[in-house]
Amino acid sequence: MPTSRPFVPFIRWANTVRIPRGGHGALNRRLYDHELVYVLEGQGNIILDGQTHPANPDHLFLVQPGIYHSFLSPDESQRLLGIHFDFEPHDDTLTFTEFESAPDVLNRSRLRPRREIEGWHLAERPFLDLTGHPRVRRQLEELVAEYGRHDQQSRFIAGAQLLAIFGQIERELTLMGEVARHQRVGADAVRRVQRAREQLERELESPPTIEAVAAQVGWSGDHLRRMFRAVLD
């Protein structure tokens, strides 16, 4: 008996686009879909739902359905990588027009429900600066190459790749949060918390008191509790 494939994101379009110096544009402006846009080269701006944000190399944007957006390249050309997709298949996924430009009037019944990637709250972070985090870029470029084979198998593989990219983005967000916490409390505090945590984990059967562990790392019990929350939460 054949087994059904698991749901993976359905990619409707994936490619790279170059915006010339002094130009503006968007990547196959289908306002019905979610869209990931990664800036590969060049500095510019994006107008996203009426707000202007920098669009510089290694910036990643998630544009939700119904959000008008345009990239501006006033001083130098830009190369952008874009992916239009459904987070999961819908009833009309396979029949939905693939290369339909932005209409003058939106058919709001066809807008996909707005979603976010786990841990990426767009109201707080309209874009991610992934400078120094090369894995997401590499995975996106591999996805575009796979999708460009233009066959059903490659589309499914590219969808699975996009699912893996979501996981990598979640991981990068976690790492960024850890770095921010470490910078806030300082390296010495992080080392003391790690030493205290290791001691508590070694002695699970007969755990020492927090005060006893804190004394070994040179803190009071209350201060160790506060630092646990600051570093580990």
Which fold would CATH assign to domain 10-95+111-176?
Answer: Jelly Rolls (2.60.120)
Q: What average pLDDT does the segment 137-160 reach?
A: 95
pLDDT at 3: 43
pLDDT at 95: 57
Higher pLDDT, 71 or 139: 139
Q: Does the pLDDT at position 73 exceed 80?
A: yes
Long-range pairs of 62-65 with CB within 8 A, sequence gap ≥ 24:
62/34, 62/35, 62/36, 62/116, 62/117, 62/120, 62/122, 63/34, 63/35, 63/36, 63/37, 64/34, 64/114, 64/115, 64/116, 64/122, 65/31, 65/32, 65/33, 65/34, 65/111, 65/112, 65/113, 65/114
Residues 6 or more apart from 105 whose CB is under 8 A from it? Answer: none
Helix (H) or strand (E) holding 202: helix 187-202
* Residue 30 CB neighbour total at 10 angstroms: 21
Q: Does the pLDDT at position 122 exceed 90?
A: yes
Which residue has 């893996």 as its token pair? 164
Q: Does the pLDDT at position 44 exceed 80?
A: yes
Please state the separation of Cα 185 from the chain's center in Å.
26
Q: What average pLDDT does the segment 45-72 reach?
A: 92
Range picked from 18-27, 55-64, 172-181 for highest mean pLDDT: 55-64
- Domains of the chain, by residue range, sit at 10-95+111-176, 186-232
Q: What average pLDDT does the segment 37-59 reach?
A: 94
pLDDT at 5: 47
pLDDT at 11: 92
Q: Which of 194, 178, 199, 75 is nearest to 119 (CA)?
A: 178
Q: What average pLDDT does the segment 150-172 reach?
A: 94
pLDDT digits (tens, 9 = 90+) for 94-107: 555 555 555 556 67
pLDDT at 130: 95
Q: Give the Cα separation of 111 and 77 in Å (integer).
A: 31
Q: Give the Cα separation of 179 and 138 in Å (integer).
A: 22
Q: Does the pLDDT at position 131 exceed 70?
A: yes
Q: Contact at 8 Å (CB) between 156 and 8?
A: yes
Q: How many CA atoms lie within 13 A of 98 on its CB side?
A: 7
Q: Contact at 8 Å (CB) between 6 and 89?
A: no
Q: Does the pLDDT at position 35 exceed 70?
A: yes
pLDDT at 177: 78
Q: What average pLDDT does the segment 179-201 reach?
A: 79
Q: Contact at 8 Å (CB) between 91 and 37?
A: no
- pLDDT classification of 227: cutoffs 50, 70, 90: confident
- Which residues is 128 bridged to in the sheet? 60
Provide the mean pLDDT of the chain. Answer: 85
Q: What average pLDDT does the segment 195-224 reach?
A: 87
